[in-house]
């Protein structure tokens, strides 16, 4: 689940554009609670991931996102006392007390779950499609050391994955019963510390300790993909704000369900989808 340069418009765009696009979708999911709009955002994230060639990573992320969404929905349905339409009476339960499940709490729980799943997928899309080295370059102007620490920490992940795979292989080569989990855990921890020390030494000799802010140059020119994803992210965010302000994305869960679902809402959802996915249509100059 780490960044690798792929042949896609999103990977061809600079990190700033990728961040704006992912953040735009994430913000839209946070701003609007209307299920039609939320569904459109989720669809845009999934379709965008497929168009960026990271469908496999998103599918793996769904193993986390779907149970998370269901858990959120279930908890909200069980603990929220709001809502007028009771659909199930559990009676007096230990810890929870009097528990009546309402239609409104169930629906709103589903919306919260949908939002959580969308945010998880946005995060995954960011981590596999936005170059962390470029992000470091961007962030170093404001907070160099924290940006570097965060980026290097993510770099340790593939190294440690390879280490743990090697350790597992070595343990399969042992005759007799395998060592206990605790022993393996301790050995892995010791290995992590050794590795971290090696990486820290490498950083020192590359001048990390004496790092200065990079002088700003002209930089590379803005490509069609940079501009497209910047505009796309901004447009999605604007559509979400318009939906919220104008009521086209209106939604009210309590005390009774009320949702804007007219032609305006559907058009807005379609606009979000089109705006988010339009940059993927242009596949010129996307080779690394």
Partner 1 sequence: MTRVVVSDVSYRYPGAASPALDRVSLEVEPGEFVVLAGASGTGKSTLLRAVAGLVPHFHGGEFAGRVQVGEMDTRDQGPGELAAQVATLFQDPETQVVMGTVRAELAFPLENRGWSEAAVARAVEETALALGIDALLDRSTAQLSGGELQRAALGATLAGRPSVVCLDEPTSQLDPVAGDELVGLLRRLNEDLELTVLLAEHRLERCLGVADRVVVLDGGRVAFDGAPDGFLGWAVKEAPALATPGARLLAGVGVAPVPGVRRARLAMREKGQLPVEVSFNGPYPRQMTPRAEEALKFHRVWHEIKNGPTILRGLSFTAKQGERIALMGRNGAGKSTLLRHAAGLLKPTRGKLQAQGRVALLLQNPNDYLVHDRVRDEAPAAALERFHLSHLAARHPRDLSGGEKQRLALAIVLGDPADPPAVLCLDEPTRGMDRHVKDELVTLLTGLEASVIVATHDPEFAALFADRVMLMGDGRIIADGSPREVLAGGTYFATEVARILDGAALTAVQGIALLTKQEVPA
Contact between 282 and partner 1 per CB under 8 A: no
Q: What are phi and psi of 130, to 5 degrees?
A: -110, 125
In angstroms, give the least distance from the CB of 140 to partner 1: 8
Contact between 262 and partner 1 per CB under 8 A: no
Q: Is 177 left (phi over 0), alpha (psi -120 to 50) or beta?
A: beta
Choices 1-9, 66-74, 93-101, 238-246; region in contact with partner 1 by CB under 8 A:
1-9
DSSP 155-211: HHHHHHHHHHHHHHHHHHTSSSSPPPHHHHHHHHHHHHHHHHHHHHHHHHHTTGGG-
Pairing of the two strands 97-102 and 86-93:
antiparallel
x/- contact string, 32-61, with partner 1 (CB under 8 A)? Answer: ------------------------------
* Cβ 103 vs Cβ 83: under 8 Å: yes
Contact between 263 and partner 1 per CB under 8 A: no
Contact between 200 and partner 1 per CB under 8 A: yes
User: Of the two residues 137 and 250, which places its CB atom closer to partner 1 in the complex?
Assistant: 137
User: Of the two residues 58 and 73, which places its CB atom closer to partner 1 in the complex?
Assistant: 58
Q: Which of 87, 170, 270, 281 binds partner 1 (CB under 8 A)?
A: 170
Rounded Cα distance, 269 and 35, in Å? 10
Rounded Cα distance, 26 and 244, in Å? 15
Binding-site ranges for partner 1 (CB under 8 A): 2-5, 131-133, 137, 140, 152, 155, 158-159, 162, 166-167, 169-176, 179, 183-184, 186-187, 190-191, 195, 198-219, 288
């Amino acid at each position: 689940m780490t960044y690798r340069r792929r042949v896609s418009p999103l990977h061809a765009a600079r990190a700033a554009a990728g961040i704006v696009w992912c953040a735009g979708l994430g913000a839209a999911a946070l701003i609007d609670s209307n299920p039609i709009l939320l569904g459109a955002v989720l669809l845009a994230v999934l379709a965008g991931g497929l168009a960026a060639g990271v469908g496999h990573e998103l599918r793996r992320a769904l193993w986390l996102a779907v149970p998370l969404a269901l858990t959120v929905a279930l908890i909200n349905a069980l603990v929220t006392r709001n809502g007028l339409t009771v659909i199930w009476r559990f009676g007096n339960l230990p810890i929870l007390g009097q528990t009546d499940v309402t239609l409104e709490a169930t629906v709103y729980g589903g919306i919260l779950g949908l939002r959580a799943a969308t945010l998880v997928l946005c995060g995954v899309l960011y981590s596999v499609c936005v170059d962390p080295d470029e992000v470091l370059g961007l962030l170093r102007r404001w907070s160099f050391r924290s940006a570097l620490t965060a980026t290097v920490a993510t770099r340790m992940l593939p190294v440690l994955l390879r280490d743990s795979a090697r350790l597992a292989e070595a343990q399969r080569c042992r005759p007799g019963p395998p060592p206990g989990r605790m022993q393996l855990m301790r050995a892995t921890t010791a290995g992590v510390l050794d590795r971290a020390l090696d990486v820290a030494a490498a950083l020192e000799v590359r001048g990390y300790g004496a790092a200065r802010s990079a002088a700003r140059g002209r930089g590379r020119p803005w490509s069609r993909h940079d501009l497209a994803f910047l505009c796309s992210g901004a447009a999605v965010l604007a559509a979400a704000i318009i939906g919220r302000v104008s009521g086209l994305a209106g939604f009210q869960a309590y005390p009774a369900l009320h949702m804007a679902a007219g032609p305006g809402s559907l058009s807005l959802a379609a606009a979000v989808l089109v705006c988010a996915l339009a940059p993927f249509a242009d596949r010129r100059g996307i080779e690394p």
